[in-house]
Amino acid sequence: EEIFLRDDSLTGEIPKEIALLTALTGFYIHENAVEGTIPTEIGLLSDTLQVIWLDTNNITGTIPSQVFLLTNLESFDVFSNQMTGTIPSEIGLLGGFALEELSLAENMFSGTVPAELADLDAAL
């Protein structure tokens, strides 16, 4: 199952009930005006979720650590949002899984680039 809502002028937050969609493989809500944070409940979809595209929205906050539980995640795109904080060192965990694409540009991340990004080299 996939949710594909591109360029639909959507507003509001991503509901935590997203975790109830236990067969969800793709979550494409890009080029909208969605705001708020990525719900931590997204980590409950570790057996199925392969794609998260949230680019070009107004997502705020940090990357929740639960994203790093998504062992089947192939693509994570939060390009052009309002995300803040540091890029967590746990991001390197995704390199041991299925990750093929990672897009974090055009946000407001701060701090140093985690050395663990090098762990993604084999995956990307």
Dihedral class, residue 111 (left if φ above 0, else alpha if ψ from -120 to 50, else beta):
left
Whether this prediction's pTM lies above 0.95 is answered by no
CA angle, 74 then 45 then 84, to 5°: 70
Q: Tell me, what's the pLDDT at 12?
A: 98
Domain that holds residue 86: 2-120
Predicted local confidence at residue 93, as pLDDT:
85
Q: So what's the pLDDT on residue 124?
A: 59
pLDDT of residue 123: 56
Number of structural domains in the chain: 1
Residue 17's CATH number: 3.80.10.10
Regions of the chain with pLDDT less than 50: none
Evaluate the CA torsion angle 81, 87, 88, 90 in order and state its sign. positive
